[in-house]
Amino acid sequence: MSTTIGMDIGGTNVRGAIVAEDGTVVREEHRHTPRGFAALSDTILDVVADLRSGPPEVIAVGIGIAALVDFDGRVHFAPNLPGLVNVPLRDQLNEALDLPVVIDNDANVAAWGEAVYGAAAGVRDALLITLGTGIGGGIIAGGALYRGGHGFAAEIGHFTVEPDGPLCACGERGHWEAIASGTALGRMAREAAAAGAAPSILAAAGGHVDAITGYHVTGAVLAGEPDAQQLLDRYAVNVAIGLAGLANILDPTRIVVSGGLIDLGERLLDPVRHAFAGRIEGAALRPAPDIVAATLGDRAGMIGAAALARAER
Ligand SMILES: [Zn+2]
């Protein structure tokens, strides 16, 4: 049996799991993400050592990290991981471990997890998006992960849809992420509440407009509040605008949506599909991609990283 370790390294947590060939998680370990390159690589080694302290034997380690990573496993830029600028993470880990190490972007490995074991299993051309603090994504093209010329492809949140729109976390204005992420949903909710148009969301946040986040919207939608669903429907149009543009470019047969907001299920996907349907080129005269929810939840990254390690070691 070829068992591998999959790791998911984000700004808050370092998570690792032993994953069997069928995608089953055998054992998991978590740590808080420390600051700095040396401390982070020590933490990764510590998690790997703990996971390897018992059976089964592991043949490779796959790592998904919230960063721009090149084909040599060098981290170029990681806005949520201070101290990781132009560092040779794979070489460092290879030196310390007697195992092959494969490293890629966290959204890419999560997409690969869904492509191998989840909602895009068996689909050759798929687009996977994560709606969270930002928008992450992965592109499956011809059955393989599309990585671009440097390994930096599928930063799908960062193209301009509103030249004078809100500032994006990356510093540009009006990127899709700035109007369609969970963070953007929170901002839309504060604007609506300030205008008196979101009473249930305002109440959920204790009456303080500034305290409203995307979570208050989610809660109010799940409670069946019409003002919250109305806001979500407007937000869904923003999501659909980006998806339709990407679908025009990539022609996926399936779009898989993951991230915290997917807890809303059909309450989100239904208005997204509706807004998407008229926006894709030649809408009435072509098959449209299915738009479905991801199935692996927040383990997609670990499971996908483990699968990537098995395939590419
Ligand atoms: Zn951006």
Please give the distance, rounded to the nearest whole angstrom, from the Cα atom of residue 167 to the centre of ligand 1: 8
Please give the distance, rounded to the nearest whole angstrom, from the Cα atom of residue 182 to the centre of ligand 1: 14
Please give the distance, rounded to the nearest whole angstrom, from the Cα atom of residue 253 to the centre of ligand 1: 26
Can you list the domains of the chain with their CATH numbers?
3-115+298-312 (3.30.420.40), 123-295 (3.30.420.40)
Q: At what angle do helices 182-194 and 226-250 cross, to 10 degrees?
A: 140
Q: What is the pLDDT of residues 151-208, one digit of tens each?
A: 999 999 999 999 999 999 889 999 999 999 999 999 999 999 999 999 999 999 999 9
Please give the distance, rounded to the nearest whole angstrom, from the Cα atom of residue 23 to the centre of ligand 1: 33
| Mean pLDDT estimate for the chain | 95
- pLDDT band of 1, cuts 50, 70, 90: low
- pLDDT band of 82, cuts 50, 70, 90: confident
| pLDDT value at residue 54 | 87
- Which 3-state string (H, E, C) describes 66-90? CCEECCCCCEEECCCCCCCCCECHH
Predicted confidence (pLDDT) at residue 312 exceeds the cutoff of 90? no
Pairing relationship of beta strands 75-77 and 68-69 according to DSSP bridges? antiparallel
Please give the distance, rounded to the nearest whole angstrom, from the Cα atom of residue 286 to the centre of ligand 1: 31
Please give the distance, rounded to the nearest whole angstrom, from the Cα atom of residue 166 to the centre of ligand 1: 10
Please give the distance, rounded to the nearest whole angstrom, from the Cα atom of residue 158 to the centre of ligand 1: 4
Please give the distance, rounded to the nearest whole angstrom, from the Cα atom of residue 160 to the centre of ligand 1: 8
| pLDDT value at residue 269 | 98
Please give the distance, rounded to the nearest whole angstrom, from the Cα atom of residue 171 to the centre of ligand 1: 6
| pLDDT value at residue 80 | 84
Please give the distance, rounded to the nearest whole angstrom, from the Cα atom of residue 5 to the centre of ligand 1: 31
| pLDDT value at residue 2 | 83
Q: What is the pLDDT of residues 16-38, one digit of tens each?
A: 999 999 999 999 999 999 999 99
Please give the distance, rounded to the nearest whole angstrom, from the Cα atom of residue 285 to the centre of ligand 1: 33
Output 283-290 pairs: Cβ under 8 A, ≥24 positions apart.
287/253, 288/247, 289/127, 289/247, 289/252, 289/253, 289/254, 289/255, 290/253, 290/254, 290/255
Please give the distance, rounded to the nearest whole angstrom, from the Cα atom of residue 18 to the centre of ligand 1: 34
Please give the distance, rounded to the nearest whole angstrom, from the Cα atom of residue 168 to the centre of ligand 1: 5
Please give the distance, rounded to the nearest whole angstrom, from the Cα atom of residue 178 to the centre of ligand 1: 7
| Residue 214 half-sphere exposure toward CB, CA atoms < 13 A | 20
Q: What is the pLDDT of residues 234-273, one digit of tens each?
A: 999 999 999 999 999 999 999 999 999 999 999 999 999 9
Q: How far is CA 181 from each of CA 15, 228, 306, rounded to the nearest angstrom?
A: 23, 16, 27
Residue 60 is encoded by which pair of tokens? 């490779």
CA–CA separation, 14 vs 47, rounded Å? 8
Please give the distance, rounded to the nearest whole angstrom, from the Cα atom of residue 109 to the centre of ligand 1: 20
Please give the distance, rounded to the nearest whole angstrom, from the Cα atom of residue 200 to the centre of ligand 1: 31
